Amino acid sequence: MAQEEDDTGRDYDRARRRFLQLAAAGVIGAGATVLFSGEITTALGIEGGDPRTTVPQKREWVMLIDLAKCDGCGECTKGCAKMHFVPPGQEWIKVYEVKDEFGQRHFLPRPCMHCENAPCQKVCPVGATFQKDDGRILIDHDRCIGCRYCMAACPYDVRAFNWSEPPHTPEELAHPYSPEAPWPHRRGTVEKCDFCGHDAEKGALPGCVVACTAEMGNGAIYFGDLREDAVSNGVETLPFSKTIREQQGFRLKEELGTGPHVWYLPARR
C-alpha cells in the first residue's frame, strides 16, 4: 500500500513539474488558450473531424477533480460502490494520500482515466475492452476471458479481477446486464469504473460526484461534456477549458500519450 501511494505521489509530482516546465517555456498561458479551440478542438472532434464520430453533437464525457477541495473522506468510493454493487475488495474510485513537490500531503481520488489512446484496449485479445463514441472505455463481460492482459497494460492500475463469485443482492440480480451498467457481477472477469455514462445520458451525475457533494458538501468532483465545455458537481457548473487554463489543470501520466479524460486541479494554487 505504501509503495502504491508513493508511486501515485510521484505521478502527481511529474505532472505538476511538467506543467511548470511548460509554463516557464511559454507554452502554457498562450498555448493553453487553444487547448479546446481551433485546430486542436478539431483534432479532438469538438468541432468535427473525430474519426470515431459519425453523428454530430456526440457526447464526450470528462471528469475534473479539484484536489484543493478533497479531504480524503472516501465518500466518493462508497457512493460508487453503492450505485454499482461493487464487489468487496474493489474500489472503482480509490483515494490516495500523496505528497507533492513541496512536501505537503493531500488526497488524490483516482477513477479509471477513460483514455483516448487506451493501452488496455490495445492488448485485449478478444475485443472485450472497447471505446464508446462518447470516449468511455467499457468492458463486455460476455466476451472477457479473464486473461488480465488489460490489467498489466493499464498505467493507472484501475482494474480489478473477480477471482471468485461475488456476493449478490436480489436488486443486483434483477438488473439486466449490459457493458453500460455491468452488473450482476461475475467470477473470472475484469472490472473498473464505467464513468456512469448510462446515467449521464439521462442527465444524472455519477455516484462519486453525488456522494462528494451531497454527503460531504465538498463538491470536489465535477463531471460533464467536453463538447459543451462545461462540468458540474451538482451545485455549480464550471467552464471546463477556462478552468483548466486558469487554474493549472493537469492529467496524470500525460507524457505517456494516453489522453486521459480525467483532469485535476492542483491542491496548492
pLDDT tens for each residue of the chain, 269 residues long: 444 555 555 554 555 454 444 333 333 332 222 233 333 333 333 344 443 444 446 899 999 999 999 999 999 999 999 999 999 999 999 999 998 888 889 999 999 999 999 999 999 999 999 999 999 999 999 999 999 999 999 999 999 999 999 999 999 999 999 999 999 999 999 999 999 987 888 889 999 999 999 876 779 999 999 999 999 999 999 999 999 999 999 999 999 999 999 999 999 76
Pair 178, 221: CB distance under 8 Å: no
The pLDDT of residue 214 is 83
State how far the Cα of 196 lies from the Cα of 222, in Å rounded to an integer.
13
Integer CA distances (angstroms), 216 to 69, 73, 211, 212, 232, in order: 11, 8, 7, 6, 16
Bridge partners, 64 (sequence order): 222, 263
The pLDDT of residue 50 is 42
Residue 171: is it exposed, middle or buried by C-beta count within 10 angstroms (0-12/13-18/19+)? Answer: exposed
The x, y and z cell numbers of residue 193, run together, are 469504473
Name all domains of the chain by residue range, CATH numbers in brackets.
Answer: 2-265 (3.30.70.20)
The pLDDT of residue 58 is 85
The pLDDT of residue 1 is 47
State how far the Cα of 94 lies from the Cα of 58, in Å rounded to an integer.
29
The pLDDT of residue 30 is 29
